[in-house]
Amino acid sequence: MTTINKEEIQKFSNLADEWWDVKGKFKPLHMFNPIRIEYISEKIRKNFNLSEKLDKPLEGLKILDIGCGGGLISEPMARLGAQVTGIDASSKNIKVASTHAKKSDLKIEYINTSPEKFDRKEEFDVILNLEIVEHVENLGLYLESCYKLVKKKGIMFTATINRTFTSYVKAIVGAEYILRWLPIGTHEWNKFIKPEELEIMLSRIGFSTLDLKGLQFNPFNQKWKRGESLSVNYIICSIKN
């Protein structure tokens, strides 16, 4: 059994050289990054009772970034002091991420693998699943594999897109066909998952929800913000029981 969808991996492998081009195909993720980093670091500090006044507030924590791509989240987490491991099923993504980390003088371990094949049981304090679950095969196996990798009382962030009419209009028609922010075919609406469905799946394998937030894009100032609407993008912070 595998969580790897070869067609999805190929999509992102074809774009791998553009990961760090802020005006390229991954421009939406670069715009998305500040609010993701703010939310994730805030929840980590709260869960592990860390001081926000430290230069490197996440020092001492081990973070696993699954589906790390070119390292857009791995690098900020490393700069905040965490010991970061990034894994991705695309060897091309891993090569790009490793090269950029070296140029940035950051020590990040990047490995070409998927969570079900990754033998680091209960090693990580934090797992990041950001914009990845809508691209995997066998979501149940994927989440179970994540559960085995995180320590007890460790936390996991799962960010994805809701399966609603609004998400179809904004995330597919708008982002791919009208604004051309993303290549056509990046997302498939039927692979989106509703937050209540995801919460049930997480609960069944031993996670409890700590927080659930919507993430909304403001087209006027071109920035993302947190909100209560879960109609398109949302993020769940879960703790391992």
pLDDT at 105: 97
Reported as a pLDDT band with limits 50, 70 and 90, residue 165 is very high
Domains of the chain, first to last: 6-240 (3.40.50.150)
pLDDT, tens only, 176-219: 777 677 778 788 898 999 999 999 999 999 999 999 999 998 87
Write 7-15 long-range contacts (CB < 8 A, 24+). 8/135, 8/136, 8/137, 9/89, 9/90, 11/183, 11/185, 11/186, 12/69, 12/90, 12/93, 12/135, 13/90, 13/91, 13/92, 13/93, 15/183
